[in-house]
Structures are given as structure tokens and as C-alpha cells.
Amino acid sequence: VRLGGPEPSDSYLSVEAVVRAARDVGAEAVHPGYGFLAQSAELAERLEEEGIAFIGPPARVQRLVGDKLGARRFFRSAGVPVVPGTLEPVDPRDAPSVAEELGYPVMVKPAAGGGGIGMSIAWSEADLLEALRRAEDLARKAFGRGEVYLEKYLPKARHVEVQVLGDGRGGVLHLYERECSVQRRFQKVVEEAPSPALDEELRERLLTLALKAARACNYVNAGTFEFLYDPPSRELYLLEVNSRIQVEHPVTEMVTGIDIVREQILIAAGEGVSFRQEEVELRGHAMEARVYAEDPAAGFAPSPGRITAYREPSGPFTRVDSGYYEGAEVPIYYDPLIMKIVCWGSTREEARRRLIAALEETVIEGVKTNLAFLHLILNDPAFASGDYNTRIVEERGLAERAASYSHRRLKLPRRRVEKKPAAPGVDAWRVASRMGL
């Protein structure tokens, strides 16, 4: 079913286009994926009006957690610690005094949206006003709202998140945590589970806080409660709630054996979840690398174009989620995510080595990719040791080094991959929007 033109605003960002398509094919339910309208309260409401199930949290939850500042106020009042910062939009005239009170560096963040869009670090008053101007401009263009707020920036923090399922009957369960500290432009590129940063006391504290937050808002369906962990103080702060399935959900599936999308469907159908909390166990370790058509040496600029050669990695304990093939076009309209490679191991080191081998086996030609960048990350001593933070890319100069680095240790034979039709919804379900990551 054709939704509309190639521009997202004419298709995957159009609530009415999605509702019309669902109605035309007689759909009983709609899964919104992890981009575009995945966190749209309006879509959830419109589908409900049409008698079509929305496979995700209801509009009530979407509105609460989608309002970043409102969510900060709500969860703080519920006794869940949030990152120190403002609880209302900040006026540029007041920003210097607010930042001084918080203490530099500070993070300037849009009050709406997500995916790292518009976020900027101000290290001193000298660059605060420019950071505010840039954040307001990007937020207005991306989300239609220019309001921003300030948070204390924690330069040594680690990004850890908890996968939660609300069963629709008042109960919430966790599927343990993921570590997502390897980021570029405030967007994740390598994720793993479980987190190497947490001891048992910290893990228990993290899971308890996530469930407390989920119960406070009567959470329903799949969601991710994202936290910043500050190693010097051992404090945990709720960062935000993503009311959808995450791009990185496969790492959780591989260490728990639970199909999260299946559980989403069961919950939306009113059947609850298929397991009890005590049945959820961590088994081994999993890592995911996001392979993008982008140029790390050019500020991670997208590299749209035609893929002239394509080879996916294979082998045991390796999962590839992709919607591309040889001859496919990486479009200019959407996020340039080509594939996600996920590897499991009985130990973290085994998972890391398997993922390195999988990257070395991957062939993508015709567009620039971040394969070398990913290989550098996985081989970096800080990452290999598990002792890293959200600034590992900047501190280790990984983007700059990727320009002259080859991830291919062996000359692999070129193997033509049989062409296959694109996966359904390649532009939205498999390829996440910059608006929703």
C-alpha cells in the first residue's frame, strides 16, 4: 500500500496516511516500528477511533513521556531521580545564570523530540548562547517547537537503559539492562547486554528504579527507561523514556530468549505477557553494531546512493536485521541505517570477537559506510576492557582514525548476493528515521 510521496511528511509522518492505509487493507492492528510515528499519541488515538489496535503504549502514556519537561517533573515527584537541570523551558536571557548554578558543562536539549537532534554541549558561558541558538533552530525545524532546557552534563557518564514490558493488566516486568554508551552525535552505534559497568548492587538499584518509574505512570506495552550512570558518585539518573521498541532490542532478545515484538502483540491483543518475572534470566552476552551509510571522516554525513556490492555476515550466534540488498538505493529521505549486526557469546569477550569477525566479513560497496569506525571501536582497548563512557568516540579520536583504517583484515572473495525484494516497510520499520532514534 503506497502511503504517499518520498518525503516523510507525505507518508510515514502523516497520521492520516497511515490510518487510511490500515483501513484500506482491513488491518486489525498497526505496529509503528521505532521511528516516525512510533511515539505519536495522535496516531494511537486515531487508530483507536477506527477500531484498530495500536501495538504500543496508549496515547495517555505517549503524551506523558513524550513531553520531556513534563516527564522530568512527573518522575521527580514520583521519587525517581532525574538528571539535574531545569524543569521548564529556559529563556536565553536567563540561561547564563542557570548554567552557572548548575555548573559547567551543561547540555542544551530540545523540549520535544529525540534521537539526539538539537542537543549541544556548552563547556563555558562563551559558547552557551551559540549552543542555545543552534538547539532552538534545529528543534523548531525538526519538531515544530523551539523550546529548550538545560541539564547538567556528566562527561564521564555511562548510558544504561532498562527494557520494560507493561502487561496491560497493571503489572510491569523488566528484561534487564543494555549499555548504550558508544554514541556519535548523541546517537547510539554500539550496544551490549548486560552492561559491563554494573555490579550486582548497582544493577538491582537500576532495575528497581526503572520498575518504580514504570509503575508510577502505569506503563503499558514495551518501553525503555534510559538512565545516566555517573561512576564517580555511583548515582543513577533517569534520562528519558522511549515509549516504543528500541533499535537495539535484539541484544536483549539474544540474552533473554524473549521475542519482544511477540510480547508487544500479545499485550495489544489483551493477552498480557507469556512469562513471569522470575522466569527471565540473563544468558551470556550480546553486542550490536549499527552499520550506516555515512562518512565518519566528514562528521558522519549520510552517504546515499546505490549499493553495488552487498554481503551480510553469517555464522552461528550472529543475527542480521536489514532491509537492503545489492542494487538497492540508500535514499536521501531517511536515516541511512543499512543493517544491524548482533552477536552472542557465552562471555563478553566471545561476543566482542564474534562481532569483530562479522564486521570483517561484511561487504558493502557503492556508498561510504561506518564499518571501519565500528571495527575501531570494538578493538579499542577502552571498549575491550569495558571501562568506557559516552565520550569514548571523542576521547579516543575514533572518527578521525577511521578515515585511514581498514576493517578488512583478509581479502574476502567477492560473492554476488542473489537479489531479493526489499523487506516490507524498509524505509520506516527497518530503516529508522532520524526523527525517532
Q: How many domains does the chain have?
A: 4
Instruction: Report pLDDT for 407.
Output: 63
Q: What is the CATH number of the domain that holds 337?
A: 3.30.470.20
Q: 51 and 96: one domain? A: no
Residues 41, 167, single domain; the answer is no
Residue 3 lies in a domain: no
Does residue 77 sit within a domain? Answer: no
From first to last of its 437 residues, what are the pLDDT tens digits of the chain? 889 888 888 899 999 999 999 999 999 999 999 989 999 999 999 999 999 999 999 999 999 998 899 999 999 999 999 999 999 999 999 999 999 999 999 999 988 766 677 899 999 999 999 999 988 988 887 777 889 999 999 999 999 999 999 999 999 999 999 999 999 999 999 999 999 999 999 999 999 999 999 999 999 999 999 999 999 999 999 999 999 999 999 999 999 999 999 999 999 999 999 999 999 999 999 999 999 999 998 999 999 999 999 999 998 999 999 999 999 999 999 999 999 999 999 999 999 999 999 999 999 999 999 999 999 999 999 999 999 999 999 999 999 998 888 666 544 444 444 444 333 333 333 333 333 33
Alpha-carbon gap, residue 56 to 267, rounded angstroms? 9
The answer to whether residue 78 sits within a structural domain is no
Gap between the Cα atoms of 202 and 199, Å rounded: 5
* Single residue among 131, 152, 173 that ends a domain in this structure: 152
Residue 413 lies in a domain: yes
Residue 436 lies in a domain: no
Record the pTM.
Answer: 0.90
- Sheet containing 187-193: give its strands across: 235-242, 221-230, 158-166, 172-184, 187-193, 285-292, 337-345, 318-322
Q: Which of 152, 187, 208 is the last residue of a domain?
A: 152
**pLDDT given at position 111:** 85
Gap between the Cα atoms of 420 and 422, Å rounded: 6
69 assigned to some structural domain: no
Q: Are residue 394 and residue 304 in the same domain, yes or no? A: yes
Q: Where are the beta strands (DSSP E) in 85-234?
A: 106-110, 120-122, 148-152, 158-166, 172-184, 187-193, 221-230
| pLDDT (0 to 100) of residue 115 | 67
Residues 6 or more apart in contact with residue 149 via CB below 8 angstroms: 68, 69, 85, 86, 87, 88, 89, 90, 108, 109, 111
- Is 262 an active-site residue? no
Q: Which of 137, 104, 239, 67 is nearest to 95 (CA)?
A: 104
> Do 113 and 246 fall within a single domain?
no
Please pick, among 158, 244, 348, 434, the residue that the annotation labels catalytic: 244
List the domain range (segments joined by +) for residue 343.
Answer: 285-430
Which of 279, 306, 337 is at the close of a domain? 279
Q: Identify whether residues 309 and 292 lie together within a single domain.
A: yes
